[in-house]
Every structure is written in C-alpha cells, then in structure tokens.
Structure 1
Amino acid sequence: MSAEIICVGTELLLGDILNSNAQFLAQQLAQLGIPHYYQTVVGDNVERLKQVIEIATSRAQILIFTGGLGPTPDDLTCETIADFFGVPLVERPEIIEDIAQKFAGRGRVMTPSNRKQALIPQGAEILPNPTGTAPGIIWQPRPEITIFTFPGVPSEMHRMWQETAVPFLQNQGWGKEIIYSRSLRFWGIGESALAEKVTAYLNLPNPTVAPYAGKGEVRLRISAKASSEQAAEALITPIEKQIKDIAGLDYYGADDETLAAVVGQLLRVSKETLSVAESCTGGGLGQMLTEISGSSDYFWGGVISYDNSVKVRLLGVNPEDLDKFGAVSATVAEQMAVGVKTRLLTTWGLSITGIAGPTGGTDTKPVGLVYIGLAGPNDEVASFEYRFGTMRGRALIRHVSANAALDLLRRRLLTR
C-alpha cells in the first residue's frame, strides 16, 4: 500500500505560494512508515483534477488532498471527488453549526457562500478543522481506496493531520514501522565525486543512501525502515561511520548543522576568537556566524569594507597594493584578514573579496572570482582563490563564498 499527495490550487502552479504542505505530508508519511512515490500539483480545474484522481487511484491506495476546500467557486476539490466516484454531495448541518459558531466567536455573521463548505460526499466522515471553517473528509469510496482532504492553510492542515488523520491511520495498522533518515553534509567535494567514493553504498536495500546537492554543498541521506527510531538508528549508525571515514574532512556535519555552527563549536572548545572582513559578501559571513545563539563567546565582530577607502583606513590595506593588484587579489585578501584580526584582537581573522556580479567582471578577473584570506596565531596568513563561475548568480556566489570561508577555517582548526 502506498500514498499519493495531491495539492490543488492554481496559485501553486503559478509559484505564488510555496508548496510546504507536500513537504510536511511527505515527512509525516515517512514517520508512519507509509511509502509514497508520487506528488501531484493541479490547478483549479475540474477535468484536470479528475484526470489526476484517475491516475492516482491506479497506483496508490491512500489519496491525500490539500487545497480547494474554501467557499469560493474555484474551490472544487470535494465536488470533483464526489463526481468522479459518482456519489452525491450532502449538506451536513453539524458543519454549518460549527462554521456559524466560529464566525460568531469573531463577531461576524456567516455568509451564504460558506454553506458550500458543509457539502461533502455521501458516506464520507467529517475530518474536523478546529481552527478554520473548512473541514476535511475521510472517505473510502472503494474498499481499496482511502481519501483524506485538508484545507490548504498549513497551520490548519498540520493540526487536522496530527489530531485526526494520524490516529485513523494508526488504527488501520500503520505506524508499526517508521522510515527514519539522517542527512550527512559535505563541503569541498562535488556530488559526482562523492557518489563515486561511496558508490558501494548507493544500492543498499535498508538503509538506503542517496546523494543530492544544493547551494555549494552535497548531502547524503541515509534512510532506514524499522519498528522504532532506535532500531532505525542502529541500522544507520554503522553506515554513517563508514561514509564519514571515506569522506574525511569533506564531511562537516549532519541534519541541521551548519558550517557556522560547526566552526563556532570548534572555536568555543579551543577558547579562540574570530573576526571577519568582508567586501563582496556585504556582511553575509557575519550574519551566518551571529545566527548561532551564544556566538558572542567566540565571534567578536567584523568590518564590511565595501569601498577601498575602508580597506585602507580601517583594515590597514596598503594603497599601493590596491593600485597594483586590485581589490580582488590574494595580497589584499591577506591584508584584510591580518588587519581585522589585529584591530579586533582576535585569534583568527577571515576575509572575503571578490566579484559577485553580474557586472564588474573582466577577462582577467571574471565574475565569480573570489579570494579568501585567513590569518591566525603566530603570524600565520594565507589566501585561497576560488572561481565560482558566472552562472551561479550574485546571491549564490555570495552565499558560497561565505561558506567557503567558514570551511577553510574549519579545516585549519581540525588539522593544526
């Protein structure tokens, strides 16, 4: 048995609303051990919605709909489902009473259009909505098909799922096994290169291992199906250790850990401090560091030296070197790192200078060229050149540059 998620709403197709409902439901199905292989987004159109239902009923036994339960003419989910299965809609007086009470509680009078939300397929059970006016349904129009409908509002859908849908599914025998996942995070290695290193693990039956990439990093998701989270952990842990051993320093953390958090913990343990000097990232590196609660223990501050005069006056960059090598150069990156470390009296100084684009590039210094400087104890100073390319776009070049700087410091702290 498997489930299919069907999200209804033209606004989803137009990109006006992020489809977070599908992500939530996918995670919840995994926790219940219910496999699902397809997700569909369809607009507010009766015929296309019927086509989606026909396909879904041929390959899944649990159909979960979100959206299209409102009072307006384009809210078509319930009536289309009923029509597809050849069942009439019936008005449920208890739904009308619930809607009227909710309007009264807000000092308003229920409008006639809201009566539409009381129409559900004959034989369906009401899936209560404690906070909104649109109830859902739980319905088995055929012995092998179970249908759930939810409003599109995420907060309403989440509560209805947890309070009613989950107990129903558990009573049907689901939830005896779960699918539990851990995501391993890597920086400094490409997806294909990492996949080649761990290719022996990519065809395991349980747990499974799958790579995916985004925003400069690569992740490996290890998923196990077991009777409990503890049992799943026992399956995942040895595979996780073996992959970490293979990846070495390219592995930096798991699940929600960020490079900023990992670097911060290393600095806290070593009782060392950090300051940053930024040009093309415009404070993005400092923002990443200060997003971590308690980062004042090790992060003392930074300088956004966007203009060359700031590099000279506040960071002590040699103006002659600026003229000779340019602001985007190894020499200037090193002087920026030393300057901020010296002036803020920290153990480490990190600097970033580059061309984030889309303008400003030349043949010798193209968009995506970035230099990162690192200054440390005992007059240690070094610079590193990156060429992130023009296709990434300004925002991504800035994001990757800041993370690359953190990764450089992480590797240095781990290998000294």
Structure 2
Amino acid sequence: MSAEIICVGTELLLGDILNTNAQFLAQQLASLGIPHYYQSTVGDNLERLQQVIEIASKRASILIFTGGLGPTPDDLTTEAIANFFNTPLVERPEIIADIAQKFASIGRKMTPNNRKQALLPEGAEVLPNPSGTAPGMIWQPRPGLTILTFPGVPSELKRMWQETAVPFLKSQGWGKEIIYSRMMRFRGIGESALAEKVAPLLDLTNPTVAPYASLGEVRLRVSTKASSQADAIASIEPVAQQIRDIAGLDYYGSDDDTLASVVGRLLREVGETVSVAESCTGGGLGAMLTTVAGSSDYFVGGVIAYDNRVKISLLGVNREDLEQFGAVSHPVAKQMAAGVQKQLGTNWGLSITGIAGPGGGTQTKPVGLVYIGIAAPDGTAQSVEYRLGAMRDRESVRSIAAANALDLLRRRLLTRKNKKL
C-alpha cells in the first residue's frame, strides 16, 4: 500500500517552473506515514498521461495528481483519468455554481470554457477548491485504488490538501503512523569520510541513516516510523547523539539550522559582535549573516575591499605586504580581519580574499585559492588557506568561501566554549 505523485504540465518538463508541489506532497505523505516510492512528471499529452496512469495504478494504491485541471484545451488530467477507466464525464451543477459565484465576486462573468472544470468522472466526489476555480476530485474507480486530483497552483493545492484530503485519508485508516526525519548537517568533512565514520549506523533499519552531499556540506538524514512525533524523537535521539559524538566539530546543526543562524546563536550567548572585510565575495558573507532575523544584535557591518587602495586606506593593510605577498595571501587576510575588527570596534573580525575565477589564476595561485582571516577578542589574528578547485564556477567559489568563513568562526566559538565547560 503506497502512494504515487503524478505532476502534470509541459512547463515542468521544460524547467520553466520549479516543482514545489512534489516536495510538499512528499513531506505530507511522510507526516501521515504513507509509503511513497515513485514520482512521475508528464507533459500535457493525453496518450502519455494515460501511459503514466497505467503504470502507476499497478504499483500504488493512492494516485495524487497535480496540474492539468484548468479550462484550456491542454488541461487534460481529468479527461485522461476518465478515459483510462472507461468512465463517462458528468457535468456537476454545484461546481458551475461555485465557479460562477467566484467570478461574480470580482465583478466578472464566467466564460464558457470554465464549464470544462465542472466535468468529473461519474461517481467521483468533489474535492473543493476554496481559493480557485479548479476543483479536484476524490475517486475510487476500483477497489484498492484511490485517486486525488489538485490544481497546479501551490497555494490552492496546499489548502485543499489540509482541509479535505488529509481528513479523508485519515478516515480511510491512514495517518496512524508517521514517518519522521531529522536532517543533520556537517561542514569540513567529505561525504565519503563521514560515511566511513558512521558506517555501522548506515545499516540500521529503524531508524535509518542516509548520507547526502550538497555544495560545501554533507547531510545525514535520520528517519523513523512511529505512532507519534514524541515516539519518533525518542527513537531518533540516541542515534543522533552517536553521530554528534562521532562527528565532533564537523556537526553544526539540524533541520532548519544554517551556519549563519548557529553562529548568531553562539555570538548572542556570549554577548559578542562580529564585522567582516570582503574582497572576492563582494558582500556575500555579510549577506549570509543578515539572513537571520535579529542579526543586528551581533553583526555590526563590513567593508567590501575589492581594490587594494581600500584594503590600505580603510583596513590598514601594509602596502609592502601587498606588494610582496599579493592581495591573496596569509598576511593580507590577517590584516584585513584585524583592520575591520579595529575600525568597527567588534569582538571578532572575519576577512575573505581569494581568486574566484574564471580568470586571474596562476600556477602558484590558482582559481579557487582563498584565504580567510579571523581576528579574535584576545588580539590575535590568523588565516586559513582553502583550495576550492578550478573546476568550480565563480559563484560556487564565492558561496563556499563565505560559508567557510562562518564555519571558521563557529569552530573558534565552540572550541572556546568547550574549554570553559
């Protein structure tokens, strides 16, 4: 017994819009404990739609459709479903009345093509759409198979799902168990290295542990099936604690945590502030810090020192060091961090200088070479070299460099905190 999500629309296949509906429905199915093994995306084509229905109806007991419920000729979802199950379409007067009322409420008259939205397979129940003109349906064309259809507009789908679909599914016996996951986030360690460290845990069956990699970080999803969220958390927590113990400082947070939110929390705990001096990232580090609401409590500001004259005049970088070592170097990174710390009167100073590419690299200083400086409250300054690789594009180098600067500060704050404990 499982569900399959079928997203309809040529615009999805062309990449014109992001398919957020599939993500939302997948999360909702997990929260109801409904197994979900397949997703399909198909264009606005009657024959291909019916091919998808044929395959999906053999391997799932709940088919959830999004898109293709509009009034235009290329909206074919309802027609395809009815044709496949050899069931006639019947015009529903209550749907026509609802659509006409919605048009009247905004001073418009319903057009004839909207009558198409009132057609449902004989025997299907209306799945009301309070926000739009396209209703969905709940239909059981044969024993053991349930079909739910939704419009493609995300806001409409979400409301219809919560108000009608969830109560219906629960009335059918679904939702007695939930699938609960925690996404654990790591920085400074590769996917293969982390997987090797936690290898015994990857063989668990409940909870399960699965690794994922994304730009500059690794994630471990810990999932379990349980009768309640409280039971799920109780099941997951011992495994999560083992992972935290194994990973040490490489673990930085879970679920909605970001490096910026974690750093902000640590700074707020000790009542300290930070400022930034950026060259190749051009303000990206400051932008990351300010994504967090309330970041003005600890983030004072920054200097975008792209030109060497700015590094010298505003940050106090030594001209001779620039000439001898170059802008992308340990001495300059350290002086930039100390300079912004002094100029803005903060406890911490962070700096970034590097070669983001695609040009500008040399044999000794290739594209992707980045130095991150950090000036501490005790008056010391240091810098760390990162070689992010010439294979990365410019924006990836900039993004990873800014995140690495936050991670460097996070590690320093946590190390100091752990020493005091």
The TM tier, using the shorter chain, reads over 0.9
Aligned match of 1:283: 283
How much is the aligned-residue C-alpha RMSD, in angstroms?
0.9
Q: How does 1:221-240 map to 2 (within 5 A)?
A: 221-240=221-240
Aligned match of 2:86: 86
For residues 307-330 of structure 1, give each alpha carbon's deviation from its aligned partner in whole angstroms, at most 9, with x where no partner exists: 111111100111221122111111
Count of aligned pairs: 416
Aligned match of 2:419: none
1:411 maps to 2:407? no
209-218 or 385-394: which moved more? 385-394
Aligned match of 1:196: 196
SS in 1 for 2:413: helix
Q: How does 1:211-230 map to 2 (within 5 A)?
A: 211-230=211-230
In 1: Cα distance, 2:362 partner to 2:116 partner: 62
In 2: Cα distance, 1:323 partner to 1:216 partner: 32
In 2: Cα distance, 1:173 partner to 1:391 partner: 51
Q: How does 1:363-382 map to 2 (within 5 A)?
A: 363-382=363-382
Q: How does 1:107-122 map to 2 (within 5 A)?
A: 107-122=107-122
29-38 or 268-277: which moved more? 268-277
In 2: Cα distance, 1:356 partner to 1:333 partner: 15
- Normalised by the length of structure 1, the TM-score is 0.98
For residues 338-382 of structure 1, give each alpha carbon's deviation from its aligned partner in whole angstroms, at most 9, with x where no partner exists: 110111111111000111122222222221111100111232111
SS in 1 for 2:63: strand
Q: Which amino acid aligns with 1:220?
A: L
Name structure 1 gaps, 5 residues minimum: none
Aligned match of 1:259: 259
Q: Which amino acid aligns with 1:13?
A: L
- Would you identify which runs of 4 or more consecutive aligned residues in structure 1 move more than 6 Å? none
Q: Which amino acid aligns with 1:90?
A: V
Q: Which amino acid aligns with 1:96?
A: I
Aligned match of 1:249: 249
SS in 1 for 2:235: helix
In 2: Cα distance, 1:39 partner to 1:363 partner: 47
In 1: Cα distance, 2:50 partner to 2:199 partner: 42
For residues 371-402 of structure 1, give each alpha carbon's deviation from its aligned partner in whole angstroms, at most 9, with x where no partner exists: 10011123211111111112221222111111
In 1: Cα distance, 2:141 partner to 2:391 partner: 50
SS in 1 for 2:163: helix
Q: Which amino acid aligns with 2:373?
A: G
For residues 242-271 of structure 1, give each alpha carbon's deviation from its aligned partner in whole angstroms, at most 9, with x where no partner exists: 110000010011111111111111112222
Aligned match of 1:295: 295
For residues 71-128 of structure 1, give each alpha carbon's deviation from its aligned partner in whole angstroms, at most 9, with x where no partner exists: 1111000000100111111111111111110000011011111111111111111100
Aligned match of 1:158: 158
SS in 1 for 2:65: strand
In 1: Cα distance, 2:377 partner to 2:345 partner: 11
In 2: Cα distance, 1:392 partner to 1:5 partner: 34
Aligned match of 2:396: 396
In 2: Cα distance, 1:388 partner to 1:285 partner: 17
Q: Which amino acid aligns with 1:111?
A: T
In 1: Cα distance, 2:362 partner to 2:90 partner: 69
Name structure 2 gaps, 5 residues minimum: 417-421
